[in-house]
Amino acid sequence: MLLAAALGALVGLVLALTGAGGAIIAVPLLVFGFDLDLAQAAPIALLAVAASAALGAVLGLRAGIVRYRAAILMSVVGSLLTPLGVLLAHRLPEQWLSLVFALVLIFVAQRMFLQARSELCGVPPITARPGTAACKLDQDSGRFRWTAPCARALAQAGVITGLLSGLLGVGGGFVIVPALRRSSDLPMNSIVATSLLVVAIVSSSAVLGAVAAGRLEAAVAAPFAAGAALAMLTGRLVAGRIAGPRLQQGFSVAAGLVAVLMIGSLVV
């Protein structure tokens, strides 16, 4: 229990300090720390991700920066696709599943490293050009003007998030945040808060499915999730002082090394 709580705390702290994508290390920590296969580790990781993301989403809702209608659309679509991801996770050979996860981890690490480097160089992040965003905010109401292109862009992000959550046990913030950047004119704090609500809902649906199927290792999951949630709260208190692009680059390098270790374990 102590080991599970400590590893969960590491996940929560990384999530608080690095933002979307940081919780992807939950699965390899569980795989290496408890000798679980990836399909067993996925729902435990998602429980921790759901608990941590829910805390962030509640804070965003209280601040009024969550676009909850957009979050609900992505969450509903994602939750419908999550069972398909879970089914594939239990049908695919463990070696192939681990390889897919390692490749996704490399992708996330590379993108986080490049984003941090761009920030250090003063290069603005890639966003929708003014006037071209599929999802545009109404300046009077502060809500999206709902159009078919907007709904389609959000639904596509939900599809990818749901599949990856079920298949690999990842929250999907690394999918939602760039999707909202490219398809909307939301400010960054609203994008992150909206993403956290989607991650919390989609991850929770996957966890409930695992509980119903008897696939959740409760003895590991409970302390792991509790450690993640508490560290997430603590990390947010100090994130403004110690978080930054250098820390994100350090995490991305560490995540890349973990991915290499996962691939190496498949070869040996």
Q: What is the pLDDT of residues 167-180, one digit of tens each?
A: 888 878 888 888 88
* pTM as predicted: 0.86
**Position 160 confidence tier, pLDDT thresholds 50, 70, 90:** very high
Structural tokens at position 201: 């809902």
pLDDT top residue among 241 and 176: 176
87-93-94-98 Cα dihedral, nearest 10 degrees: -90
Beta strands in the chain (DSSP E): 136-137, 144-145
Residue 223, pLDDT score: 93
How far, in Å, are 124, 134, 160, 195 from residue 128 at the CA level?
A: 12, 8, 20, 17
* pLDDT higher than threshold 90 for residue 138: no
pLDDT top residue among 247 and 31: 31
Residue 231 to residue 23: CA distance in whole angstroms = 12
Please give the average per-residue pLDDT across 168-194, as a whole number: 85
Q: Give the ranges where 121-187 is alpha helix by DSSP (H).
A: 148-168, 173-183
* pLDDT higher than threshold 70 for residue 19: no
218-220-221-223 Cα dihedral, nearest 10 degrees: 110
Please give the average per-residue pLDDT across 100-122, as a whole number: 86
Please give the average per-residue pLDDT across 252-268, as a whole number: 85
Structural tokens at position 183: 């398809």
Question: Per-residue pLDDT tens for 23-56?
Answer: 788 888 888 888 888 888 888 988 888 888 888 8
Contact 53, 196 (CB under 8 A): yes
Neighbours of 243 (CB within 10 A): 16
* pLDDT higher than threshold 60 for residue 128: no
Q: Please state, rounded to an integer, the average pLDDT across all residues of the chain.
A: 84
**Position 11 confidence tier, pLDDT thresholds 50, 70, 90:** confident
Residue 218 to residue 195: CA distance in whole angstroms = 27
Residues with Cβ within 8 Å of residue 171, at least 6 apart in sequence: 23, 24, 46, 49, 50, 53, 161, 165, 199, 202, 203
pLDDT top residue among 247 and 227: 227
Residue 127, pLDDT score: 55
